[in-house]
C-alpha cells in the first residue's frame, strides 16, 4: 500500500486537509464542512510541544505508547480524582 495522499480543499471556514487511503473515496466538500463544524462546536484540542533537547526521555516514552490520548486523559482523571473532583466518567483509579 502506498503512503496516504494529502489533498487540500478550501472552504468558507478555512482550509481543510483531508487524507485518503488507497481504495477509499474522499469525503465531499459538504461532509468535510459538516465534520469541521461539528469538531469546532463540540471538541477542544490542546497542543503539547516537547523539546528534543531537554525532554528526549519523555518523547521516547510517549512514542512507545499505543494510545497517547487515552494515556493523557487517564493521567488527568487520576489527578482530578486525587483533588476530589468529578472526572466525566473517565477511569481515574
Question: Where do the structural domains in the chain lie, given as residue ranges?
Answer: 5-42, 46-93
Distances (CA, A) of 31 to 9, 24, 25, 42, 69: 12, 15, 12, 16, 25
**Beta carbons within 8 Å of 66's beta carbon, 6+ residues apart:** none
At 39-70, the pLDDT tens digits run 999 999 999 999 999 999 999 999 999 999 99
Task: Give residue for cell 474522499.
Answer: 26
Question: Has this prediction a pTM greater than 0.75?
Answer: no
Confidence category of residue 72, pLDDT binned at 50, 70, 90: very high
Amino acid at each position: 500500500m502506498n503512503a496516504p495522499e494529502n489533498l487540500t480543499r478550501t472552504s468558507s471556514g478555512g482550509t481543510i486537509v483531508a487524507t485518503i487511503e488507497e481504495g477509499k473515496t474522499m469525503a465531499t466538500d459538504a461532509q468535510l464542512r459538516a465534520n469541521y463544524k461539528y469538531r469546532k462546536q463540540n471538541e477542544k484540542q490542546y497542543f503539547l510541544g516537547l523539546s528534543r533537547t531537554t525532554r528526549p526521555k519523555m518523547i521516547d516514552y510517549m512514542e512507545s505508547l499505543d494510545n497517547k490520548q487515552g494515556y493523557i486523559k487517564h493521567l488527568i482523571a487520576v489527578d482530578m480524582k486525587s483533588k476530589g473532583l468529578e472526572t466525566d466518567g473517565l477511569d481515574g483509579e
